[in-house]
Amino acid sequence: MIIEKRIRVAAIVVTATLALAVAACSQFEPRDKRFYYRAFWNFALREDLAELDSEFNGVDFGHSNLYENLLLTGGTDVPAIEDRARKETLAFIASKPRLNPNEEAIAPTYMKLAWRAQNTFDEAHALHRATYDIVVSDEPDQDRAIRNVLAYYQESAYAITARRLDHHRLDAFPYSQSFRKRFPLFNATIWAYHYLQVAVYDPLRAARDLPAKTQAVRPILSTYHRYLEQPPVEWTFMPLTAELSPAFAARYPEIANIFDNLHMLHDNISDILASEQLPTWEAKRVEIYHLVNSYYLASADATNPMIVKTQQEREHHH
């Protein structure tokens, strides 16, 4: 009898535990992360132009460190963001990190809040990295390689639309510009990152060999570090790919659009995390996913009202 009772009790405990586990799991998102596109030119930037690669590792830290601190402080503590979090980011950049940081370790709270949004960033950042690797490498057909990685990227459920979005409309939500108005120094630092990310494409593609590529990016790195020391708070909008690498944007307009849309999404999420109009974490999560699902993912192209219509499309529509 005693043994039977123990068995029944154990069965009840196991059943209850499983029920709790199922309920808990329903609150978590599946981690369906893809592996990067594999090719012989993988990590060419890290191996051949580490001076630039380490700067991009610093950028990765900066975004995650910002989001985590915005979320944990409620987006209202100016010294926590402008002084402490920004100085942490600058110190990390100055350390010239050799490897990509583990962003989930940097921002565990934010990752739990909006993992699918973060994975949308991660996929687009992988496209950034792949294109840098290709233009630095000795790949004989760089055009084919870039179009291959674009095709691989666009197979993802997390792919950002390659259509041009109306960034000014996307910057006009009720909570928009909350971040840059309250934290102008860190906002300018983020825009300086985006300057670096897109400004290097044309010089890297134009340089004939690795020594020339190394020399070509150094003036850009000098400008970038000047921006870190004296953030360009006078800027009124984020840098755009066509402004800083017009030849790259003209040859690969879809990629340029993806990168500009990615950077606009970064601004939107910074605003959401800083906005007092979305006071709870759940409200912020709902708005982040509304933005991503409705305006940024390529899967929403058929219904996305933020897509800029071409002249031909407008004439056909009218």
d(CA 112, CA 283) in angstroms, rounded, equals: 14
d(CA 303, CA 285) in angstroms, rounded, equals: 22
Q: Is 311 exposed, middle or buried (0-12, 13-18, 19+ CB in 10 A)?
A: exposed
Residue ranges of domains in the chain = 1-30, 40-317
pTM assigned to the model: 0.89
Host H or E run for residue 300: none
Instruction: Name the CA dihedral angle for 169, 238, 150, 54, rounded to a multiple of 10 degrees.
Output: -150
Dihedral-angle region of residue 53 (phi above 0 means left; psi in -120 to 50 means alpha; beta otherwise): alpha
pLDDT tens string, the chain, 318 residues long: the values are 544 444 454 444 433 333 333 333 335 677 788 899 999 999 999 999 999 999 999 888 999 999 999 999 999 999 999 999 999 999 999 999 998 898 989 999 999 999 999 999 999 999 999 999 999 999 999 999 999 999 999 999 999 999 999 999 999 999 999 999 999 999 999 999 999 999 999 999 999 999 999 999 999 999 999 999 999 999 999 999 999 999 999 999 999 999 999 999 999 999 999 999 999 999 999 999 999 999 999 999 999 999 998 744 433 332
Q: List, as own/partner pairs, every contact residues 148-156 make where C-beta atoms lie below 8 angstroms and the sequence separation is at least 24, other chains included.
A: 148/37, 148/39, 149/37, 150/252, 150/254, 150/255, 152/37, 153/37, 153/123, 153/124, 153/126, 153/127, 153/258, 154/298, 156/34, 156/123
Distances in Å between the Cα of 14 and the Cα atoms of 2, 6, 8, 11, 24 are 18, 12, 10, 5, 15
Measured at the CA of 289, the angle between CA 283 and CA 292, to 5 degrees, comes to: 140
Residue 264 confidence (pLDDT): 98
User: In this predicted model, what pLDDT tens digit does every residue of 169-227 receive, in sequence order?
Assistant: 999 999 999 999 999 999 999 999 999 999 999 999 999 999 999 999 999 999 999 99
Q: Is 30 helix (H, G, I), strand (E, B) or coil?
A: coil
Residue 8 confidence (pLDDT): 52
Contacts of 14 (CB under 8 A, 6+ apart): none
